[in-house]
Structure 1
């Protein structure tokens, strides 16, 4: 039996505020599912200290994934050490996760393009430049037809609550329009610690094809919001055998405070190639009861 290619999205772990039981639970989840690639969508640390980056790097290594794609979040730039923020804002990040702040991962199933949306002169807000938009679009244009094409930003392009509107990515309108035309399927994000999957087609004009915002919650941190537990996303590339369209599933896995494992809480199946159907017909959602006996 062939296992579907799998991607694990981890966002906002905020090492320095991590919950040890959630860390161990997430390591266990990764060992059980053996993802092809782990994507860190920013805010890997709380205050960008060496100790926090060392802990985060050691954690990433323990996940045992074949590849890791990481981008910085606003918390990954020193805040109170102004000299480091001005002169070497990504020095500690690079020491832990490498010099490439906008990595690209490619396999038969996935094309993952990282975008550094942080700026040393911004405290929380993120932005994407014209040059970044065009770089991503050019790489998307060279994707293979069978690949699921993902762009990773830290700040979200879409939010679901009025109080989060101030956290949206600056430059998002141009980015969504250009990346949609270039063939993007999903934009993965974090920052607001609120997991959801929503269609971008209809929310942005123009957005000529089916494209989705996939937001992750905070993976292992005490910095929980809106009553949400720690959570991560697992994306599975559906087999193309017998199918005329590409699709993938997005699974949300939750770990309640004090629990010792992540359990699957929600599954959404996304059709990726249709532009004519309404978003409601392109996404099938099913909730999974979050009881401890599930997915052991």
Structure 2
């Protein structure tokens, strides 16, 4: 069985290119994913009209299953009353969904988490409750487990070390313990596809890390235009699971096109490795 997931992140509605919305919609429709995961910074300033624009985008691809988690930009910055007492008010109005949940898709389980906080402007962390709840959960038998939240656990450039998930070492140990296969993030607008062992060599079981760039915003980084990651997972009862992650970049012609492909295979004991 094959499962296809489009990993989008950081569209920043309110600071986005309107023409890129159509290019992304067209590309995703052609790719026909089983699930679309958006890892935060849905809006630029958490305003209701920005969430409404994001909701319209999601509705334009409503034939696919979605999961959308908030980023630090999805909490009001200047309205302190809302930030302190109803930080996710506009997010919940737009998406009417629980931030933390488990989503089954055939032989894949997706666990969504909230790494944002009303008390932090930029940095993110996983709460101890979220970590304990994951450990205590009776995880049902499944072939592939995916963790999805905004702040990344790895980055390609040293300048972004400060932007990584604050308690990432603790979180990655728990992910190894619970046999999490794939960890999704965004936030830094600088895409990365890697193995956890590159940054966490003391954790025996490796998982795959997918950090998506900004799919729509003009707030791009040098060498990283608008982009997203396409994840293809192949599950066969007679073989070890395989995963292919393809990075799609916006080209000069205004269309998204594949530019990098990474292939992985899973060992029952050691986790994932590159093929």
Q: Shift in Å at residue 136 of structure 1?
A: 2.6
Q: How many residues are aligned here?
A: 275
Find out whether 1:218 has 2:221 as its counterpart: no
Instruction: Report the TM-score, using the length of structure 1 for normalisation.
Output: 0.87
Question: Following the alignment from structure 2 to structure 1, what is the Cα–Cα distance between the partners of residues 33 and 62?
Answer: 8
Find out whether 1:81 has 2:72 as its counterpart: no
Deviations 1:189-238 (A, max 9, x none): 00001111111125225422121211000001101012211001111112
Partner of 1:117: 115
Instruction: Report the TM-score, using the length of structure 2 for normalisation.
Output: 0.94
Mapping for residues 15-94 of structure 1, pairs under 5 Å: 15-94=13-92
Q: Shift in Å at residue 276 of structure 1?
A: 4.8
Deviations 1:106-144 (A, max 9, x none): 1223211111000001000001122111223344x6242
Find out whether 1:187 has 2:183 as its counterpart: yes
Partner of 2:135: 137
Partner of 1:162: 158
Q: Shift in Å at residue 160 of structure 1?
A: 2.3
Question: Following the alignment from structure 1 to structure 2, what is the Cα–Cα distance between the partners of residues 11 and 226?
Answer: 17
- Aligned equivalent of 1:265, options 259, 262, 270: 259
Find out whether 1:207 has 2:198 as its counterpart: no
When residues 9 and 244 of structure 1 are mapped into structure 2, their CA distance, relative to the original with a 3 A threshold, is same
Q: Shift in Å at residue 159 of structure 1?
A: 1.8
Partner of 1:176: 172
The structure where strand makes up a greater share of residues is 2
Partner of 2:247: 252
Point out 4+ residue stretches in structure 1 off by more than 6 angstroms. none
Structure 2 unaligned regions, length at least 5: none
Q: Is the 8 A contact 1:113 1:136 kept in 2?
A: no
Deviations 1:226-264 (A, max 9, x none): 2211001111112416x521111111111136x332111
